[in-house]
């Protein structure tokens, strides 16, 4: 085909309007499963503390004499646990010119960027709560850091040879020290149903009532192949392939399965929602910063920590493969 001689087209035109959609598409996930599963608590100091207790071990020898003289028995004191409040923030700086010009997809750049930073802050919080981070008390020039969930879980946990807790953790330093945390094994192994069953049995024996299992993307697929769900019956349309499990039918009750993009894929966490809280010294708050130039400045700050009511209610399988 031949182009008409002297035809004036879009390649020569200067004044054509651009075709810019009024939608902004963001793929980054904003779901935060652990924060959703955990309760919300209140902290009143930068060092947050709580207590745990347990009943005496049940015995079969509690048979007493008639008319026996009662001799007082020693009481076991509570155990005090501690965590530190971590400060996290995001800031927004938008020039006043950018706020004034006509924009696609948002009327206010300040409002758009502020909403975006709030979501980013929430993702940061989920990431640190799911980490294996040791607590840091902080000092002048040193930021405080909270002790994350993975760092509490030395109880009822199947760990691989080479980790600090051995093959099944009962580390006595786990509960009280905010700076304690297990060390990852140098190698990983396959995530198997036997490992999961062992961890669930340990949680039950410790007095916990497992409600959920939180896994990363790879091991969510592995868990879906386990036979613990074979006792369930569900109606699936003929044009649907059922390849996922959202519930694990264990010997101790049904346990919900939650995939978490922010989890460490090498960890499979077993938890109980009423035993974990995100405690806020300062809930997320938006503040206006002082004007220092021809721009609008915002500051979004929170100070929070993790309260693991009793670590013995939790368990998990650690040091598992993160790919096939």
Domain that holds residue 314: 33-52+78-229+243-318
Compute the mean pLDDT over every residue in the chain, rounded to the nearest whole number: 87
Asked if the structure places residue 71 within a domain, the reply is no
When divided into structural domains, the chain yields a total of 1
Give the CATH number, domain containing residue 302: 3.90.1690
Asked if the structure places residue 14 within a domain, the reply is no
| DSSP string covering 233-289 | -----TT------SEEEETTEEEEEEE-TTS-TTEEEEE-GGGEEEEEEEEEEEEEP
Asked if the structure places residue 18 within a domain, the reply is no
Cβ atoms of residues 282 and 301 within 8 Å: yes
Parallel, antiparallel or unpaired: strands 212-215 and 253-259: parallel
> In the prediction, which pLDDT does 289 show?
95
Q: What percent of the chain has pLDDT over 90?
A: 62
Asked if the structure places residue 17 within a domain, the reply is no
d(CA 275, CA 129): 14
The phi, psi pair for 187, rounded to 5°, reads -120, 165
Say if residue 221's pLDDT is above 90: yes
Number of H helices, E strands in the chain: 6, 13
Bridge partner list, 138: none
Query: Whole-model pTM?
Result: 0.86
Asked if the structure places residue 88 within a domain, the reply is yes
Asked if the structure places residue 272 within a domain, the reply is yes
pLDDT digits (tens, 9 = 90+) for 73-105: 888 898 889 999 999 999 999 999 999 999 988
Parallel, antiparallel or unpaired: strands 47-52 and 253-259: unpaired
Asked if the structure places residue 15 within a domain, the reply is no
Asked if the structure places residue 67 within a domain, the reply is no
């Amino acid at each position: 085909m031949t182009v008409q001689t002297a035809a004036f087209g879009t390649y020569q035109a200067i004044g054509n309007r651009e075709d810019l959609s009024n939608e902004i598409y963001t793929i980054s996930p904003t779901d935060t499963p652990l924060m959703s599963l955990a309760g919300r608590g209140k902290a009143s100091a930068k060092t947050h503390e709580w207590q745990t207790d347990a009943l005496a071990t049940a015995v079969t020898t509690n048979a007493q004499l008639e008319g026996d003289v009662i001799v007082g028995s020693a009481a076991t004191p509570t155990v005090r646990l501690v965590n530190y409040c971590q400060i996290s923030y995001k800031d927004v700086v938008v020039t006043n010119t950018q706020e004034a010009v006509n924009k696609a997809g948002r009327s206010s750049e300040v409002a758009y960027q502020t909403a975006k930073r709030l979501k980013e802050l929430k993702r940061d919080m989920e990431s640190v709560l799911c980490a294996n981070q040791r607590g840091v008390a902080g000092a002048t020039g040193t930021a405080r850091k909270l002790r994350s969930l993975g760092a509490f879980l030395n109880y009822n946990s199947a760990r691989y040879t080479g980790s600090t807790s051995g093959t099944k953790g009962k580390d006595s330093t786990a509960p009280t020290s905010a700076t304690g945390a297990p060390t990852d094994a140098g190698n990983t192994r396959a995530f198997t149903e036997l490992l999961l069953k062992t961890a669930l049995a340990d949680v039950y024996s410790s007095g916990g009532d497992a409600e959920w299992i939180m896994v990363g993307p790879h091991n969510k697929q592995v868990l879906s192949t386990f036979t613990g769900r074979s006792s369930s019956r569900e109606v699936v349309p003929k044009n649907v392939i059922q390849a996922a499990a959202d519930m694990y039918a264990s010997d101790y009750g049904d346990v919900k399965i939650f995939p978490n993009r922010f989890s460490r894929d090498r960890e499979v966490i077993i938890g109980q929602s009423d035993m974990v809280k995100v405690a806020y010294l300062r809930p997320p708050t938006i503040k206006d910063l002082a004007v220092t130039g021809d721009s609008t400045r915002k500051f979004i700050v929170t100070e929070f920590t993790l309260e693991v009511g009793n670590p013995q209610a939790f368990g998990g399988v650690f040091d598992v493969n993160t790919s096939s």
